[in-house]
Amino acid sequence: MDDDRPAAPEDGRLKFLLIADDCDEARLAAYFMARRARHSNSAVTLLHVVEPPELGHWATVAETMRAEAHERGEACLAEFAAIVEAELGERPETLIREGRRAEEISRLIGEDPKVALLFLGASAGPDGPGPLVAALASKPAYLGSRPIPVVVVPGSVTRDDLKVIS
């Protein structure tokens, strides 16, 4: 076995990672990722990152905002887990982390050698593909010391389009 390959999980499967955000293009990416995971016998991890509020001395307000953001993150992960389970046939691993999104993605990839692919949804809107896709396109170093392939699913495709290629 090539020493540069990520270690397989205990059950022998690699992981696909999806950043779960409350947007339609991320839902499409979840659908595509789950189908690819099923066809390649891979596991799935869903990550939702709660970015900390910047309120300084307003600690009580910041804590309330943080708790609400965690609740929204849990609801988002539950929705995405249902999408994945419907296509993959098993519940994915779900994680909520708090911090800067790019840093938490990089940290997770560095911590978990089983993660082999990162799936992202790209907006089809006039403002560009979204901040995370744009950041990774311009600075792949955001993936950290163990860069992995990134699959970007355009928000302009349909589930039928994705079904054909998955």
Residue predicted with more confidence, 144 or 21: 21
- Which of 17, 12, 1 has its CA nearest to residue 94? 17
pLDDT at 8: 43
Give the Cα separation of 56 and 51 in Å (integer): 14
Is it the case that residue 19 has pLDDT exceeding 60? yes
Give the neighbor-by-neighbor strand order of the sheet with 150-154: 93-98, 43-50, 15-19, 115-122, 150-154
Give the distance from CA 130 to its chain's centroid. 14
Crossing angle of the two packed helices 101-111 and 131-138, in degrees rounded to 10 = 60
Following DSSP, what letter does each residue of 24-92 receive, concatenated? HHHHHHHHHHHHHHHHHT-EEEEEEEEPPP--TT-HHHHHHHHHHHHHHHHHHHHHHHHHHHHHHSSPP
Q: How confident is the model at residue 3 (pLDDT cuts 50, 70, 90)?
A: very low
Diameter of the chain measured on Cα atoms: 53
Contact 80, 36 (CB under 8 A): no
pLDDT at 5: 40
Is it the case that residue 80 has pLDDT exceeding 90? yes
Strands 150-154 and 43-50: unpaired
pLDDT at 4: 44
Q: How high is the mean pLDDT of the chain?
A: 86
Q: How confident is the model at residue 55 (pLDDT cuts 50, 70, 90)?
A: low
pLDDT at 137: 75
Strand partners, 10: none
Give the Cα separation of 81 and 76 in Å (integer): 9
Q: How confident is the model at residue 45 (pLDDT cuts 50, 70, 90)?
A: very high
Residue with tokens 């050698």: 113
Instruction: Kindly indicate whether the domain formed by 15-165 is annotated with CATH number 3.20.20.60.
Output: no
User: Where in the chain are the domains?
Assistant: 15-165
Q: What is the pLDDT of residues 107-155, one digit of tens each?
A: 999 999 999 999 999 988 888 888 888 877 777 666 777 888 999 999 9
